[in-house]
Structure formats: C-alpha cells, structure tokens
C-alpha cells in the first residue's frame, strides 16, 4: 500500500479528520446564522483590564475572519498531517489533534463574541 492509501485507512486519522470537518462546518454555519440580524457593528474584542471600555466594536469583515480562520486551520492541518504520515504516524495524529483544539477554541470564541452583540 502506498502512503495515501494507508493514511485514509487509518481509523484514528479518519476520526480526527471527521471531527475537524464537523467543527469547521459548525463554525461557518454558526457565524453565518448569527449574522442574519443585519447589524453593522459587532463586538470583536474583549479586554478585561480596560473596565468600562472592555468591548471593542468592529465590522462585518472582522467577524467573517472566524470563518476564514476555521477553513484555513482545517486545510493546513489536514495537508500537514497527510504530508507527515509517511514519516511518523504519531506526528500526523498530533497535527490533527492540535487542529481539533484550535477549531474548538474558534467555535467557543466566535460564539461568545456573537452572543454579546
């Protein structure tokens, strides 16, 4: 079997790829459905050390970067995992696991910021 066939037959890799795809889709759909309100200003930053001025507002483009970030994380981690699989399986699985962590944090942060709007 060649490297690509082994990669796509590894159950742990397929599980992590599926979880990452689900989290990416969840992020994209969550952001898109929350933008239905039609507001021009969104809260894009929270700085706890500023007191009353802790919330920073931003534009629609800054909120859409959450979607771009999720898709970029999914693509980069999948490609890096695929490229490192023939060298070391554990490194490949670690890349996917770190991508899962980043995507999970992206879902949490985007949901928290859009809930404040």
| pLDDT tens sequence across 81-110 | 999 999 999 999 999 999 999 999 999 998
With a pLDDT cut of 70, the percent of the chain lying above it is 90
Closest CA relative to residue 81, chosen from 30, 6, 24: 6
Instruction: Give the span between the Cα atoms of 37 and 47, in whole angstroms.
Output: 25
Instruction: Give the span between the Cα atoms of 51 and 110, in whole angstroms.
Output: 22
Closest CA relative to residue 3, chosen from 88, 86, 89: 86
| Single pTM value for the model | 0.86
């Amino acid at each position: 079997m060649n490297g690509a066939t082994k990669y796509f037959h590894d159950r742990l890799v397929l599980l992590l790829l599926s979880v990452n795809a689900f989290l990416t889709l969840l992020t994209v759909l969550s952001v898109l459905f929350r933008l239905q309100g039609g507001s021009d200003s969104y809260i894009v930053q929270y700085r706890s050390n500023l007191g009353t001025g802790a919330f920073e507002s931003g534009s629609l483009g800054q909120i859409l970067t959450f979607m771009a970030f999720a898709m970029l994380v999914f693509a980069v981690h999948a490609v890096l995992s695929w490229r490192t699989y023939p060298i070391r399986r554990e490194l490949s699985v670690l890349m996917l696991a770190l991508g899962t962590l980043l995507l999970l944090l992206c879902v949490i942060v985007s949901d928290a910021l859009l809930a404040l709007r």
